[in-house]
Structure 1
């Protein structure tokens, strides 16, 4: 048995081993909740590259039971990236409802169970048939359809993660948080480029099967560059692997249901009386200190007891405040930026985006809709 690899396949193979090595460094050097997600993400990238090399080189004939193994696994890439970003920004603990992110993976796995149960010889025949029909017009294989669904769902998860990043960028002010955020933003851009290129190439492959192999290799090159980029950022900016929480924040929370209820009431009372939300750039750490609890406990309190995130919770109060002053005589001729700043937002665009998200209207439209109401002095 000999293995004859092309130069490009050796490059992919090197990236796969680089990714596996990087994943081991991530999990052993900086163990934390968010780094567990990053570890699994990089490991999945590596395994996908490895199986692709085995498939394209024909070596799959010697290990046929690896055939299609990454097809259900890649459905975890989008959820892992989203959970990694969420954990990195606000240390939100995992909840039972997060299991819903596993559904696409489980669905694809169940569909492929009949194939996985086949013997090695039959799987090799399927592989040979796919090679013979790869240039046929209108060839919609299970692999292609599944891969396209994976890309669309992954892009959806990227948009969810992007919303979290946008919210965090408006509030995180400390030096350590800025370094972490900068590293996360670079990784996110790299991830977006990979997903966007993959979507584009999938469309080209469907419309013109002659470029399918070129698309396949460009996709693997994009993934190779993404792995190397993560490795470089982790080396050049160690903040990527550093947690924003203290070690004790990752211990199991001792908050009882009664204490969570009491703290939730205290949190709401503090917001209403002290109006902490009006402070631009207020952090979860400041609110945690106000309540005398850790960041992790605050995240758990917001997620479990109030079913929200820190920034959504703060912005809800800011929007309610903006609604009030929009109807005030004092702000009758005020500019939108003035209202935004007085409501606790750091800039106009952030205010407009969150106001429309909450009300479905722009501040101007909201004011016109309620113009017949008695203005507040």
Structure 2
């Protein structure tokens, strides 16, 4: 009975590994992808390879390699958790590249690699001798216990990012931002199952009880989570595209037609795209008219629902129009308008008595920290430096 279950389970592992490859391909095919996609690809690689390793372990030769397992087998547990936290960090804070300080999260893996090379050299470059080295089993136990500690640590860190993101956005986030949060919450909960079951299996292993079923359980969670991520990439591709910068304008109508042709091979789909594009242009025009005339963004509690009421359009229609036409989320669009307003106020000599915090509040920002972050991202200087530079002219 158990060999049959194990055989079907191996198919699930192979499915998880193949889905990881598919997901990595989808994430990297867009040249203008956000850097967070790289971290998600690392996550898929780590989880997918772990699934493949279990598949190979079940079927052995020719899929299973003793040499590969000797070098990286215990390390797999260390690679499962940091990418989850880092992906959340890079997704919601929109970093343009890898931050040097984040190498600390991979330091256990770096130390593992150095120690493994030491074992290999000390064993006269022999895999068989290395596997009988006095410290070989110690390496495996250290990795298991360290992974047991890393799991809850990164789960808590990731949960904190999600809570901060929700608190910061409140009602101001678009459907796209909402999808990011909800989707990643599900990933984070599955991640919790992995380290809980993995931690139990580590404890059980060291009480000399076969933990094989527990290993199967958390690898099943990995495979299902990988599939969920790939479905997300297919179903909501806009979530995995860069949205912080405006798209490059079309030089003429011919280039626009060429772009539409690449997206669709059929005339019917092209007509549908053009029709939707025209509707979205109308929505953008209505939004800009309302913003210019009423400056609704100066209301600190202004939300996507408020904008929907002001222009008589649905939340989803507005979100899609902003993303497709301006390549911005509602949150970024409103805060960029607030930055423009703050620049006007900072440049006014009659308002020199206003504090920077007062300018931020007058422009519509709830917190000075969000104001500073957006202002520096856009203008590359702090509000105080900008004010001094403008007023000294």
TM over 0.5: yes
Partner residue of 2:90?
Answer: 87
Q: How many residues align?
A: 269
Is 1:11 matched up with 2:15? Answer: no
Distance 1:62 1:72, change over 3 A: closer
Is the 8 Å Cα contact of residues 194 and 226 (structure 1) preserved in structure 2? Answer: no
Distance 1:292 1:221, change over 3 A: closer
- Cα shift at 1:105: 1.0
Find the residue that maps to 2:83 and give its secondary structure: helix
Matches within 5 A, 1:293-372: 293-294=377-378
Is the 8 Å Cα contact of residues 20 and 44 (structure 2) preserved in structure 1? Answer: yes
Is the 8 Å Cα contact of residues 46 and 80 (structure 2) preserved in structure 1? Answer: yes
Partner residue of 2:39?
Answer: 37
Q: Structure 1, unaligned stretches of length 5 or more? A: 131-138, 249-262, 303-377
Partner residue of 2:200?
Answer: 200
Partner residue of 2:72?
Answer: 69
Deviations 1:280-326, CA, capped at 9 Å, x for gaps: 58995x6666x38539x58xx79xxxxxxxxxxxxxxxxxxxxxxxx
Matches within 5 A, 1:130-149: 142-149=139-146
Q: Select the residue among 164, 172, 182 that pairs with 1:167.
A: 164
- Distance in 2 between the 1:185 and 1:17 partners? 24
Partner residue of 1:257?
Answer: none
Is 1:49 matched up with 2:51? Answer: yes
Deviations 1:19-46, CA, capped at 9 Å, x for gaps: 1121111121472210110011101111
- Cα shift at 1:210: 3.0
Q: Structure 2, unaligned stretches of length 5 or more? A: 248-342, 347-353, 384-393
- Distance in 1 between the 2:104 and 2:41 partners? 21
Instruction: Provide the TM-score with structure 1 as the length reference.
Output: 0.59
**Higher alpha-carbon deviation: 58-67 or 118-127:** 118-127
Deviations 1:98-157, CA, capped at 9 Å, x for gaps: 222221111111121144458999535777x89xxxxxxxx9653243123123123312
- Cα shift at 1:222: 1.7
Is the 8 Å Cα contact of residues 78 and 147 (structure 2) preserved in structure 1? Answer: yes
- Distance in 1 between the 2:148 and 2:200 partners? 10
Is 1:155 matched up with 2:156? Answer: no
- Distance in 1 between the 2:10 and 2:226 partners? 15
Distance 1:292 1:115, change over 3 A: closer
- Cα shift at 1:75: 2.6
- Distance in 2 between the 1:61 and 1:179 partners? 38
- Distance in 1 between the 2:102 and 2:218 partners? 29
Partner residue of 1:346?
Answer: none
- Distance in 1 between the 2:363 and 2:200 partners? 42
Matches within 5 A, 1:273-312: 273-275=359-361, 280=366, 284=370, 291=375, 293-294=377-378
Distance 1:77 1:245, change over 3 A: farther
- Distance in 1 between the 2:365 and 2:103 partners? 35
Is 1:21 matched up with 2:22? Answer: yes
- Cα shift at 1:234: 2.4
Distance 1:201 1:124, change over 3 A: same
Find the residue that maps to 2:107 and give its secondary structure: helix
- Distance in 2 between the 1:39 and 1:58 partners? 27
Is the 8 Å Cα contact of residues 35 and 95 (structure 2) preserved in structure 1? Answer: no
- Cα shift at 1:16: 0.9
- Distance in 2 between the 1:116 and 1:60 partners? 24
- Distance in 2 between the 1:237 and 1:143 partners? 39
- Distance in 1 between the 2:13 and 2:124 partners? 25
Find the residue that maps to 1:210 and give its secondary structure: coil
- Distance in 1 between the 2:138 and 2:214 partners? 16
Partner residue of 1:234?
Answer: 233
Is the 8 Å Cα contact of residues 75 and 154 (structure 1) preserved in structure 2? Answer: no
Distance 1:174 1:31, change over 3 A: same
Partner residue of 2:219?
Answer: 220
